[in-house]
Amino acid sequence: MSNKSLLLIICLFVFVRTSYAQKRPTIDRSKPKTENKVNISTQKKTTKKKKTSKVSNHSYFNISPQSASFDSDGGTQQFTISSSSPWDIYIGTYSWGHLSKNGNTLTLKVDKNNGSTSREDFFEIKSGSKTIRVNYFQSQGASLSVSTDNLSFDASGGSQTITISSSDTWRIGTNTYSWGHLEKDGNRLTVRVDANTEINSRNDYFTIKSGNIEKRVNISQSGQTTTSSKSAVIKSVTVSNNAVVNGKYGLSVHVSFDIYGMKDTEGRVSCYFSDNYGNMLVNTNAYYGTDGSPSQVAAGYVFKPKYEETSFSDVQVVIPYDELHISGTYSRTLKVNVIIWDYEKSIPVVLSQKNEISFTCSPKY
């Protein structure tokens, strides 16, 4: 073999070996073989944690608003419920509260509070194992009280005053019969009763109202306890203006009456004055007024018949204008009650009476 052929064989051998070395994969042995497995395991755990987090974020249960307040008149309040699961009313209300459910809306209706104290209650709703409590409050209703609920008068009548306490405005509900008269002044109410000319006692009542609260006050009056053959009949009553009374201008009440069995016995004609609505004119001094407080404007005339049967054609009972305790000089309508009394006994006896006689008063000073 020539040298040239030998050289050709050596070059071919080197070429083939070099080509085989380039096709074989290179392995990095500086890293552990288990590194890829650890990375795969870590990626799987991370994926599981993300799935758990998404489920937790979708669980919710709440209500808005979380409490409620009502005044004494009551009313309604709506609540909105947000829940990821079905919900229902778990604990209901007292009888003065009412719940109704409509979709995700819960309505609470509260009745009017007529009591004198405030009140509170709660209800609960439930979804799964979760509950929500809602408290609600209602302010007190109107309160009303009177200083007494029974008034007693003797046969001669008179007046008494009671005191009314109320958390709100009050008014007279049921009024009295015609022989009773009510006069309101602030938180005070004056009850005036006419004389009872009958032997039998009599009873009446009136009511005071504030809101839906009503208080009843009973009135009782005894009858005449003295039996006698004495009697009187009032025939007419008229009133004139501009009478002169102790140097002053005033009213003159002219009374015509017949009287029986009163020979040499002292009697009295009394006149009691009120406004056009029947409210008594209040006396503010020691003159021309009844006993007691408040004192009603009144005037009288004392007589003593000379005969068993006597007719008085014109007894004049006078009173100055300034003793009526009215303001202004304009004409107005007033009323007068006239009573004839027998004063022989320690307890006066009514012999005759005429009530609420209207007349025109034209003051002149």
- pLDDT value at residue 101: 95
Does 37 score more than 70 pLDDT?
Answer: no
- pLDDT value at residue 168: 81
- pLDDT value at residue 59: 87
- Cβ contact 145:125 at 8 Å: no
Query: Token match 């007292």: residue?
Result: 94
Alpha helices (H) in 174-266, listed in sequence order? none
- pLDDT value at residue 211: 79
- pLDDT value at residue 259: 95
77-122 per-position pLDDT tens digit: 999 999 999 999 999 999 999 999 999 999 999 999 877 789 999 9
Residues 6+ apart with CB under 8 A from 21: none
Mean pLDDT of the chain: 85
Mean pLDDT of 9-18: 63
Instruction: Report how far apart, in Å, the C-alpha atoms of 98 and of each of 74, 89, 222 are.
Output: 11, 12, 52
C-alpha closest to that of 66 among 112, 120, 123: 123
- pLDDT value at residue 81: 96
113-165 per-position pLDDT tens digit: 877 789 999 999 999 999 999 999 998 877 889 999 999 999 888 999 999 99
- pLDDT value at residue 46: 46
- pLDDT value at residue 72: 86
181-192 per-position pLDDT tens digit: 999 999 999 999
Both tokens of residue 27? 């392995």
